[in-house]
Each structure stands twice: as structure tokens, then as C-alpha cells.
Amino acid sequence: MKYQELGRTGLRVSQLSLGGAQFGQQYGPLSVPQAAEVVHAAIDAGVNLIDTSAFYGLGASETILGEVLAGGWREKVSICTKAGRLDRDRFDFTAAGMRECFEDSLRRLRTDRVEILLAHDIEFADDFERVFDETAGVLNDLKREGKCRFIGMSCLPLGLLAKAIERCDLDVVVSYCHFHLQDQTLHSELMPVAAARGVGVLNASPLSMGLLTNQGPQPWHPAGEEIQAACREAAEYCRSHGADISFLGMQFCLNSNVPSTVSGAATRAELETNLRALATRPDPELLSGVLAILEPVLDRTWKSGNWNA
């Protein structure tokens, strides 16, 4: 396993981190024994960061992780969880709401502290000044109280994430769907801002929430049809060359200078595929062909939340 420094935190995080959305049943049913097999195998392989949220499965992800990390596993891994997003259309970034959400998370995770606490999907706030003031303030309060070691925020719009870094005293941010085969704007639009302030960056959704897979995304995926069609064509191109676009996509992300890429795994086989991707580099010709197909939609994204800048 490879490790990199996460900003100024002092944490050396595994280049592959384990995402917790699958444990919230967001991509299909997953039992506790199945989750335990994946989590324990990941830790044994050197993965030392797990990313979850109160939103994933409305607490189910944290509940399952709390169970499978019992018996000494918790001490082997850093936990990043998120507060403020309560459901698909319910958010509470007030100080009281953030604190209540996080206290519930701690109970589900069966721990008295986490390593990283984030405000989740802040682009859905209706008052960004309040996020930069009140939400950031309660995050710092929880940090001072020892309930989390480091604090940060997450969202889709890179402009908002950059503004949060500039306005708030953050340690870590999570960006998703902005560094993968079809979109590499994380490096140009966020990494320089984060590096200038010593903020660690975690790259989530390296397969763009299922866009860059053979089966394609879930029906709720917000990408426009042109983006989805190009990704389907790229997946077919890989199949025609005896390859899997998801494996190529993981190789592409894991062989980068992002400190850690967060990817979920529902089975041990999926985890082992990700570990193989970490240990190998993309085939240059295959990668070139895929990037050529995706070039017309390169770096295109979709609107999320209330951020319009």
C-alpha cells in the first residue's frame, strides 16, 4: 500500500481509501457479514481511512461500520464522517443541527471521536455566509472538544469548495466527481488553492458515481445525456479491447498525486480489483483511446445545489 501526507494534518493516508456509501445500501443490499469481510480485508491490505456519512442509508452505513469495526478494528483505521445532510432533500447546517447529527453519528459508530468531520454537501445550504460562519464555527468547537481531530467540508461545485478553503480554517475537503477519466478539473481548480493553505484533499467517486462502469449509472444520476452517452461509448470501447473501463478508471485515479482516492467496494472481489488497479498503471493505448472518446465532454459537470458562482 502507498501512503501520502494529507495536507497539514500529519495523517499519512492510504492512497486507496474505503467509501461507505455501499454500506448504506445505496447501490444495492449489503449484509453486515458481507460488509465485515470487505472492511477487514481492506484494513489487512493497508487501507487506513474509511469515509462515511450520516446521510448514507440514513445512518445505516455508520451503524454497520460501528458493528464491523468492533473488536479492535476501530483502532486500526481513521474514520471520516459527515454531518448536515440528513436525507436527499433535508439539510441542517446550523450549529445545533450539526452537533445533533454528529452526536448521533458517534453513537452509531460506537466511538467517542472521529479523525475527520465534514459538513456534507454544503452547496445545498440556503445561506453560504452562515456556512462560512456558523457551520465552520461549530466544526471548530467540536474539534476543540476533542470529538474530531480535523474538520472540513464537502460539495460538488469546486468554486464553492475553494471559497470554503479561503474563508474557513479547514483541514480537509472531499471533492467528488471531479477527478476521473471524464473530468480532471480537481487538479486545475482546487488543488492549488488547497496546497497554498495546507488543506488535504480526498478524491471521491473516481468512477463518477457509476458513469464509468459497464453497467452504467443509477437512474438518479444527474449527468446529462451527452455525458452519459460518451461514457457508454468509452465503456464499449474498453470491452471491445478486452478491458473494463472501471478498472482503467481506478488505475487512472490511483496513479495520481491526489493524497487518497475514496472508492467503495461491496465485495471482497471488488476490493481486490481496486488493489490491483493501485499496483498497476493504465495501458497507454487503451487510455488514449478512451480519453479521445471522452474529449467532447471533457471536464463537463452538472449543477448541484444552490451555488451559482
Question: Which residues are annotated as catalytic?
Answer: 56
CA–CA dist 25, 50 (Å, integer): 16
CA–CA dist 117, 102 (Å, integer): 8
Which 8-state DSSP code applies to residue 164? H
Query: What are the backbone angles phi and psi of residue 260, rounded to the nearest 5°?
Result: -155, 140
Q: Work out the number of other CB atoms within 10 angstroms of the CB of residue 51.
A: 26
For residues 2 and 248, the answer to whether their CB atoms sit within 8 Å is no
CA–CA dist 26, 21 (Å, integer): 6
Q: Which residue has the cell 446550523?
A: 94
- Closest by alpha carbon to 200, among 170, 245, 168, 157? 170
